C-alpha cells in the first residue's frame, strides 16, 4: 500500500491518541486529521471479539465513508489476575465509554479483592502483571487493501494512580525498567516503550518499503 499526500486520517475521537499519532507521523511530514475534523460521521460500534476485528471495522467504515485511506487503532489492557480482562472492553470497563477515572477505579476495586496480606512491600504496590495491546489497521478504500500491525507493552498494575500524563490506564501501568508509570513518562519515552509506539514503528516500516 502506497500513501500519497501529506495528511493521514485517524479514526479516533480520543485526544490522547490524536496527540500520539501526530507526534509519531510528524517526522514523515504528515499531518494528522481525526474524527474531530469530521463531526458529521457517527461513531463506529466496537462490537468485535478481538482488537483486530474492531480496528479493521473502524478503518473500513470510515475509509469507505470518506473515500480516503484511514488508520484505526483498537487497544486495551489485559490483566493477568483478571484472566485478560478488561481486554477489548477496556474503554468501557465501568460502563460509560472513555471514562478513565471510573475505569481505573473499577480495575483497582477488582484487583483489591485478590490481594494477599503476606506480600512483600513491592508486591503490595504491584497488584498484577499486565499487558497493553494495540492493533493498528490502515485501510485504503480505493484498492481494498489493508495493512495491520500489533504492538504490546508489559508492565504491572500499581495500587494507586501516579502521574498526570497519558490517558486511560497509564497512571496505573508501572514499568519497572523506568521505575515509573506510563503516565509519568515523557511523550518520547512513552513512544519508545508503549504498545502503540511499537505498532506505529512496525507500520511506518511497512509503509516506507512502498514509498
Q: Which segments are annotated as binding site for Mg(2+)?
A: 74
**Residue from 178, 168, 154 nearest 80 by CA:** 154
Q: How far is CA 45 from the centre of its chain?
A: 17
Active site residue 154: no
Separation CA 52–CA 157 (nearest Å): 24
**Residue from 66, 6, 21 nearest 203 by CA:** 21
Q: Which residue of the set 73, 74, 100, 140 is catalytic? A: 74
User: Edge-to-edge strand order for the sheet containing 126-140?
Assistant: 31-33, 7-10, 70-79, 126-140, 145-158, 173-175, 180-181
- Residues belonging to the active site: 74
Amino acid at each position: 500500500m502506497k500513501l500519497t499526500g501529506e495528511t493521514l486520517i485517524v479514526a479516533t475521537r480520543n485526544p490522547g491518541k490524536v496527540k500520539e499519532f501526530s507526534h509519531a507521523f510528524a517526522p514523515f511530514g504528515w499531518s494528522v486529521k481525526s474524527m474531530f475534523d469530521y463531526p458529521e460521521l457517527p461513531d463506529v460500534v466496537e462490537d468485535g471479539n478481538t482488537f483486530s476485528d474492531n480496528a479493521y471495522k473502524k478503518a473500513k467504515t470510515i475509509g469507505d465513508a470518506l473515500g480516503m485511506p484511514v488508520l484505526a487503532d483498537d487497544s486495551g489492557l489485559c490483566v493477568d489476575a483478571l484472566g485478560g480482562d478488561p481486554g477489548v472492553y477496556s474503554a468501557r470497563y465501568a460502563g460509560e465509554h472513555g471514562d478513565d477515572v471510573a475505569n481505573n477505579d473499577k480495575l483497582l476495586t477488582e484487583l483489591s479483592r485478590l490481594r494477599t496480606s503476606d506480600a512483600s512491600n513491592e508486591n503490595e504496590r504491584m497488584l498484577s502483571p499486565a499487558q497493553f495491546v494495540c492493533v493498528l489497521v490502515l485501510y485504503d478504500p480505493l484498492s481494498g487493501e489493508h495493512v495491520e500491525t500489533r504492538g504490546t507493552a508489559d508492565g504491572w498494575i500499581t495500587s494507586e494512580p501516579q502521574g498526570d500524563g497519558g490517558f486511560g490506564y497509564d497512571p496505573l501501568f508501572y514499568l519497572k525498567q523506568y521505575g515509573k508509570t506510563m503516565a509519568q513518562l515523557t511523550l518520547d519515552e512513552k513512544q519508545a516503550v508503549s504498545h502503540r509506539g511499537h505498532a506505529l514503528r512496525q507500520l511506518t516500516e511497512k509503509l516506507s518499503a512502498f514509498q
